Amino acid sequence: MSGSSTAHRVRRTQAQMADGRELFYFDDTEPYVSGGASRVVPDTRDLPTVQHGSIMRFDVLTGEWVTIAAHRMDRTFLPPAEHCPLDPTRPGREPTEVPASDYDVVVFENRFPSFAQDIAVDVAPEVDGNPLWPQRPAVGRCEVVLFTSDHNSSFSALPVERVRTVIEAWADRTAELSAMPGIDEVFPFENRGKEIGVTLEHPHGQIYAYPFVTPRTAQLLARSAEHRQRTGRDLMGDVLDSERKAGTRIVLEGRHFTAFVPAAARWPVEAHLVPHRAVPDFAALADAERDELAVLYRDLLQRFSGYFGELPPYIAGWHQAPVHTGRDLTRLHLRLFSLRRAPGKLKYLAGSESGAGAWINDAAPERIAQRLREVGTT
Are 221 and 341 in a shared domain?
yes
Are 297 and 178 in a shared domain?
no
pTM of the full predicted structure?
Answer: 0.94
Are 185 and 226 in a shared domain?
no
Question: pLDDT averaged over consecutive 10-residue blocks of the chain (378 residues)?
Answer: 62 96 97 96 90 89 92 59 90 94 97 87 90 95 98 96 98 98 97 86 96 97 98 98 98 98 96 98 98 98 95 96 97 96 82 90 95 84
Q: Residue 247: give the domain boundaries.
A: 216-375
Q: Is 204 part of the annotated catalytic residue set?
A: yes
Are 78 and 122 in a shared domain?
yes
Are 128 and 203 in a shared domain?
yes
Number of domains in the chain: 2
Are 55 and 162 in a shared domain?
yes
Domain boundary among 212, 240, 259: 212
Say how far apart CA 235 and CA 228 lie, in whole Å.
Answer: 7
CATH of the domain at 105: 3.30.428.10
- Residue 220 domain-assigned (yes or no): yes
Instruction: Give 127-186 as a DSSP string.
Output: GGG-TTSBEEE-B-EEEEEE--S-TT--GGGS-HHHHHHHHHHHHHHHHHHHTSTT--EE
Are 19 and 158 in a shared domain?
yes
Given 8, 71, 83, 204, the catalytic residue: 204
**pLDDT the model gives residue 76:** 58
Are 190 and 249 in a shared domain?
no
Instruction: Give 298-338 as a DSSP string.
Output: HHHHHHHHHHHTS---EEEEEE---SSS-TTT---EEEEEE
Are 72 and 189 in a shared domain?
yes
**pLDDT the model gives residue 294:** 98
> What's the distance, CA 121 to chain centroid?
27
- Residue 186 domain-assigned (yes or no): yes
- Residue 4 domain-assigned (yes or no): no
Are 162 and 254 in a shared domain?
no
Are 26 and 119 in a shared domain?
yes
Domain boundary among 197, 212, 227: 212
- Residue 273 domain-assigned (yes or no): yes
- Residue 6 domain-assigned (yes or no): no
Domain boundary among 212, 241, 264: 212
